[in-house]
């Protein structure tokens, strides 16, 4: 039997460090529009996934860092994938069907950027088509006032699919952080 190849304990600890609401908000505010499309899709989805994980943790009993790692960070963990986090979040009522649909669309856009062996962009028709259906409506909680003040909405800009993707992630992440900080 092959030996399990896991990340060094120090790196797992780094991945499991619990962020504060300020840490999460700084990540969202730091969304960098200077990134290329591939980096944007992957990094921003990762930031959203971190916020989603914190929402799930707020709904759970207090867990040790080891228990959190067992649930979230090992590749065989039940909540390792974004898909599983979305499914559980919806199942426990952390958000409704519109948010679930947007999270799934973000996941569907992120995956080709992470795994495609050819160059793709937000202007790629298949990507743009999915982004056009993003709504960015977090129906599970009233959005804090700051959310509406930072959103750029433009269907006419050159990269409108990217803008829609970024705005949706910004809105959902902000709403998740609001839930985390008010719990």
Q: Is 48 helix (H, G, I), strand (E, B) or coil?
A: helix
**Calculated CA dihedral for residues 79, 176, 55, 18, nearest 10 degrees:** 90
Give the chain's domain count. Answer: 1
Supply the DSSP symbol for 124.
S
* CATH number, residue 166: 1.20.120
Q: What is the pLDDT of residues 119-163, one digit of tens each?
A: 999 999 999 999 999 987 555 444 444 444 343 434 444 458 998
Give per-residue pLDDT as tens, 45-74: 999 999 999 999 999 999 998 999 899 988
Residue 52 C-alpha from the chain's centroid: 6
Q: Does residue 42 sit within a domain?
A: yes
Tell me, yes or no, whether 135 lies in a domain. Answer: yes
At 159, is the secondary structure helix, strand, or coil? coil
Whether 5 maps to a domain, the answer reads no
Q: What distance in Å separates the CA atoms of residue 169 and residue 152, rounded to the nearest whole number?
A: 12
Task: Quote the pLDDT of residue 54.
Answer: 92
Residue-wise over 170-183: b if at least 16 C-beta within 10 A, else e? bbbbbbbbbbbeee
Which tens digit of pLDDT belongs to each residue from 69-109? 899 988 899 999 999 999 999 999 999 899 999 999 999 99
Res 3 pLDDT > 80: no
Domain assignment of residue 64, given as a range: 34-182
Tell me if 40 is assigned to some domain: yes
pLDDT: which is higher, 19 or 98 = 98
Domain membership of residue 7 (yes or no) is no
Tokens 């409506």 correspond to: 137
Threshold 0.95, pTM exceeds:
no
Q: Assess if residue 4 is contained within a domain.
A: no
d(CA 49, CA 140): 17
């Amino acid at each position: 039997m092959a030996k399990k190849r896991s990340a060094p304990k120090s790196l797992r600890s780094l991945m499991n460090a619990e962020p504060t609401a300020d840490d999460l908000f700084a990540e969202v505010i730091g969304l960098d529009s200077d990134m290329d499309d591939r980096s944007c899709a992957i990094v921003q989805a990762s930031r959203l996934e971190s916020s989603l994980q914190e929402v799930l943790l707020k709904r759970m009993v207090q867990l040790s860092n080891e228990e959190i790692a067992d649930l979230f960070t090992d590749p065989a963990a039940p909540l390792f994938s974004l898909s599983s986090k979305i499914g559980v979040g919806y199942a426990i009522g952390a958000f409704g069907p519109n948010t679930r649909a947007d999270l799934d669309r973000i996941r569907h856009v992120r995956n080709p950027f992470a795994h495609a062996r050819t160059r793709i962009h937000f202007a790629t028709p298949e990507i743009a088509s999915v982004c056009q259906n993003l709504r960015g409506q977090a129906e599970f909680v009233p959005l804090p006032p700051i959310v509406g003040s930072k959103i750029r909405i433009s269907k006419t800009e050159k990269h409108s699919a990217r803008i829609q993707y970024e705005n949706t992630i910004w809105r959902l992440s902000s709403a998740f952080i609001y839930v985390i900080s008010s719990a």
